[in-house]
Amino acid sequence: MKYPPIPKTVEAAGGVIVVTFKPVLKHGDGSDCWGMWDPSLRTIELLSAAPKRHQWRVLYHELTHAALDDSGLSQGMTDAMQESFCEAMATARMRERFG
């Protein structure tokens, strides 16, 4: 399947989110990651070397983090709960968009 380009910006409840690509992404603990949401800058960074399908899935995961932050729901969730919810939403959105 040919996937469309990843958008450079996404409109969200809290305002525009800028999407960029990086050759290397690391969590605060130094471990590798596929994508990151930065609420202070309203940016999502995606790993440029990832396959296009995976970039879309990670984008949906990170957009769910943004939605949780914009709505205030993230404040009442543990990190594990947030990650599980973001994974579920990314899976659902991939199925809806790409079958």
Residuewise pLDDT in 10s, the chain (99 residues): 899 999 999 999 999 999 999 999 999 899 999 999 999 999 999 999 999 999 999 999 999 999 999 999 999 999 999 999 999 999 999 999 999
CATH number of the domain residue 43 falls in: 1.10.10
Residue-wise DSSP of the chain: -PPPPPPSEEEETTEEEEEEEES--B-TTS-B-SEEEETTTTEEEEETTS-HHHHHHHHHHHHHHHHHHHHTGGGGS-HHHHHHHHHHHHHHHHHHHH-
pTM (two decimals): 0.95
Residue 56: domain span: 9-98
53 found inside a domain = yes
Q: Domain total for the chain? A: 1
60 found inside a domain = yes
